[in-house]
Amino acid sequence: MLNRVRDDSVDKRISPRRRMLKQGKVVMSDWTVIDCIIRDLSDTGARLEFAGPTELPQEFRLLVVSSNLLIPAALAWQRGLAAGVHFTGPGRDAPPRKF
């Protein structure tokens, strides 16, 4: 019988993720914002990091500051200062507004 080695290093994501260090903002439905750092980004989601304890709602929008892109998102997981989100729709240019 052959011994099979399980390879957990294979990334099973639908879309490949890209490591990065970009400024982001979680934009709530009432336009309040929480600053964050975008650590990983793919076509389907992102990993965010916060400076302090943060409680995120189930649904919000993520603003990628460098591209002024506003993407609808849903919380997938949250542990410590990090959170994973999946995108629920296409991104669009953010309206002219101060964040």
In angstroms, the CA 59 to CA 23 distance is 19
pLDDT at 19: 78
Mean pLDDT of 3-24: 62
How far apart CA 44 and CA 77 sit, in angstroms, is 14
pLDDT at 50 over 90: yes
| 11 pLDDT more than 60 | no
Residue-wise pLDDT for 69-85, tens only, equals: 999 999 999 999 999 99
Q: Greater confidence, 99 or 39?
A: 39
Rounded mean pLDDT, 25-39: 96
Do 44 and 86 meet the contact criterion of CB atoms below 8 Å apart? yes
Residues 6+ apart with CB under 8 A from 62: 24, 25, 26, 27, 38, 46, 48, 70, 71, 73, 85, 87
Q: What is the pLDDT of residue 96?
A: 85
Contact 94, 76 (CB under 8 A): no
Token pair for residue 87? Answer: 């995108």
| Domains in the chain: ranges and CATH | 18-91 (2.40.10.220)
Helix and strand totals (H; E) in the chain: 0, 7
